[in-house]
Amino acid sequence: MSNSSLFWFRQDLRLADNPGLIKAAQHDNLIAVYIEDPNIGSASQWWLHHSLTKLNESLGNKLNIYQGDPKQIIFKLINDYNLDAVYWNRCYEPWRIQMDSKLKADLKEKKVTCETFNGSLLWEPMRILKNDKTYYKVFTPFYQNGCLKVDRPRDPLRKTRAISFIKDKNSLVIADLRLLPKIEWYKSFEEHWDIGEKAAHEKLKHFLSYEIKSYKESRDFPARNSVSRLSPHLHLGEISPHQVWAAVQLKRLQSPIDSNNLDHFIRELCWREFSYYLLYHFPELPYKNFQNKFDRFPWQKKSSHLKAWQKGLTGYPIIDAGMRELWHTGYMHNRVRMIAGSFLVKNLLIDWREGEAWFRDCLVDADLANNSASWQWVAGSGADAAPYFRIFNPITQGEKFDPEGAYTKRFVPELKQLPNKYLFKPWEAPDSVLKDAGVKLGENYPFPIVDLQISRQTALQSFANLG
């Protein structure tokens, strides 16, 4: 075929505001491909299965699915269909950058047109530097002196014109990727999520119509429906940050009274940018301490504590609620993520990489950059990290941010009859209160696996010894 192109879908599973796809569509014929990504967690695989299904439907069932080496697959398609050009949107994981650079060089050598585009970040990491040409390591100056002082993000691009898609007879079907985990623990996810490009935009519209009005104040309360829950849609690119940014600016014009809440939401969107920024400039972020002194930290390897944390059986209800929310929904409220992360690292003294790996496998929004940067932040080892002496107290955090106990009792139903006075410290409840609530500590709900004060002091001393 003459004047034909290939577009490679990756973390951009949408039609609108997809710069690479729009460029590829300028050719007479287009072959749209998705190549299996082996570096994705189980919960994200579940989401990906359904997202690819939605995308395939929007492409008239012309999405081509493959497994194997991207270079071999793409070059075979070039030869089979006499393709003139190859396009994709850039990704920023270290191995993707290396693979993309090599592939672009090979295509250039074969005199095949190849162009890549930014479809997933408001500002590319190489564009924002300090005056001395080094990169920012603290979020606030990155945000105020970097993001807000460079060119504003581009406007979203409209859907492309009608496309003549090529369906390859050698394409697999989505089921061949076997993305749905063998253990059907993900079945409960289905009642919590609508997946795909259309669902992402509906969620954004609903958030900006309702929840944004109290976002800054309410976002820390897990029982309230006050966050956008757009993260899994952004993770696989069902919606772009440019579309979110533009929708927020339009809302600002329509409703100036909400500006403070909108500003706070934009700030959170820019935390995502900062995480990618750190990963780009420090590609070892997912596995290496950003601050080298943490290489000497005396992490404890106690598998019973790690398993109790993973299963939501620590004896601290707000933590257990969060870990069970994660297991049942593939998601955890951000405030509770911080509490649960702090407990793992600073009370159990378990390496942050254990938490990062568990979240990466269990979260539907398991974004490598966000997950890695957030865990290093909680551990105190990151670029812009929480100070080592900031140790979240799960009792006071529960009382402050879930005062009615609605969130905790939802996910820890064995405590639902316990008075709120004792909900976050059931071991202090009198025997008669426990009996009336049907709570048998050590039987149907565990005793705390560590003492908060003792573990706090141990952690503070361990952190202080790092110097």
For 187-239, write each residue's pLDDT tens digit. 899 999 999 999 999 999 999 999 999 999 999 999 998 999 999 999 999 99
**CATH code assigned at 254:** 1.25.40.80
96 with 129, same domain: the answer is no
Mean pLDDT across 348-355: 98
Task: Reply yes or no on whether the pLDDT at 311 is more than 90.
Answer: yes
Supply the range of the domain harboring residue 94.
4-115
User: Is 78 contained in some domain?
Assistant: yes
- Can you tell me the distance from the alpha carbon of 435 to that of 421, in angstroms, rounded to the nearest whole number? 15
Q: What is the pTM of this model?
A: 0.96
Distances (CA, A) of 33 to 52, 369, 401: 11, 25, 45
Residue 236 φ/ψ, nearest 5 degrees: -105, 10
276 with 345, same domain: the answer is no
pLDDT at 150: 86
Tell me the pLDDT band of 2, cut-offs 50, 70 and 90. Answer: low
- Can you tell me the distance from the alpha carbon of 6 to that of 466, in angstroms, rounded to the nearest whole number? 52
315 with 384, same domain: the answer is yes
User: Is 192 contained in some domain?
Assistant: no
pLDDT at 149: 85
Mean pLDDT of the chain: 95
Q: Is the dihedral of CA 79, 85, 88, 92 positive or negative?
A: positive
Least confident of 233-237, 343-347, 463-467: 463-467
Sheet containing 29-35: give its strands across: 64-66, 29-35, 4-9, 85-89, 113-117
334 with 458, same domain: the answer is yes
Tell me the pLDDT band of 1, cut-offs 50, 70 and 90. Answer: low
The total domain count for the chain is 3
Active-site positions?
Answer: 268, 271, 299, 334, 352, 375
Task: Reply yes or no on whether the pLDDT at 333 is more than 80.
Answer: yes
